A = this chain, B = another copy of it.
Amino acid sequence: MTRAALAIDLGGTELRAAVVEAMGRVAAFAATPTDALGGPQAVIAQMEALIGQVRAETPGASIVGLGIGAPGPLDPDAGVVVDAPTLQGWRDVPLAAILSERLGVQVKLENDANAAALGEWRFGAGQGTQSMVFITVSTGLGGGVIVDGHLLHGRRGLAGEIGHMTISERPERCACGGVGCWEAFASGTALAREAARLVASGDAPEMARLAGGRPVTGRHVAEAAQKGDVPALKLLDDEARWLGIGLTNLLHLYSPERLILGGGVGSLLPLMHETIKQTIRERAMSAFRDVPVVAAALGRNAGLVGAASLVLKGAA
């Protein structure tokens, strides 16, 4: 029998499940659109169905437990989803206890960004480090932080809200309600906002053509930039500078051995790496300047294998 864990990644749009072997290999995978309006009981039934599917594909697996990545805020010790803004009716749901009883295995819960950080740490681009920060840049900007061999939790498991550090006095409004947050300048939403401004001004014909009348997105910026479009390259250069400012802060605050960029915008790292490194060289104290900035290795599987690692290796 191969030792393995069940894993669930509870997203606002997609619910995903897997069987993950001890070395991080995904042995079986299933996904379905999340019944986001159906309430906890409907979604938990979806989870059970998906787990039935992946279990059926892996008869030779000896299951040690279930790890779940879910939207925060949640209480990892109690296994309770406190509030999931993208899922209707999810307030104070004791998800770990419910699934543990129904499935007869131990269940561990972690917020999704932390689960992805654990995945990259144990099986991906962070392997071999004692301290690393995983930064996911897509619609929002979040992450998870490992220092001295521990995933940081802090009070109520809320450490590592890296997208919401103030880095500027510009009154750019953030999705959190605050102003000046890193997320408000460096997320995919911010990149799209700047691209839309440029398109509206008439100075970005290639991006306007790619968008074809629909709202311009980070993907259009990336596509244009990859063709050498100058306005798109300038937008990515600004994006890289904002990323570099925030990453420098993370170096000073957590002193990681490695910074790991994931998410849709993070995947554009090759186009931004030089400006990011240049910004860090300009702004970081000398002892921090040579810390590598690398691409995440696991893509959208990071959260699943990280969740699995909660039971494969014990809680972090």
Contact = CB atoms under 8 A, between A and B. Distances in A.
B291 A255 contact: no
A48 interface: no
Interface residues of A, number: 44
A169 to B, nearest CB: 5
Nearest to A245: B166
A245 B181 CA distance: 11
A154 B130 CA distance: 8
Q: How many chain copies?
A: 2
A253 B148 CA distance: 16
Contacts of A162: 252-253
A252 B161 contact: yes
Residue with the highest number of chain B CB atoms closer than 10 Å, among A159, A160, A168, A169: A159
Contact of A170 (B152, B164, B169): B169
Contacts of A157: 255
Contacts of A155: 130-131, 255-257, 291
Interface of A: 73, 130-131, 147-148, 150, 152-162, 164-170, 176-180, 245, 248-249, 252-257, 283-285, 287-288, 291
29 contacts: A73-B287, A131-B154, A131-B155, A147-B152, A147-B153, A148-B150, A148-B152, A148-B153, A154-B254, A155-B255, A156-B255, A157-B255, A159-B253, A159-B254, A159-B255, A160-B253, A160-B255, A161-B253, A161-B255, A162-B253, A165-B252, A166-B248, A166-B249, A166-B283, A168-B168, A169-B170, A176-B285, A178-B283, A178-B284
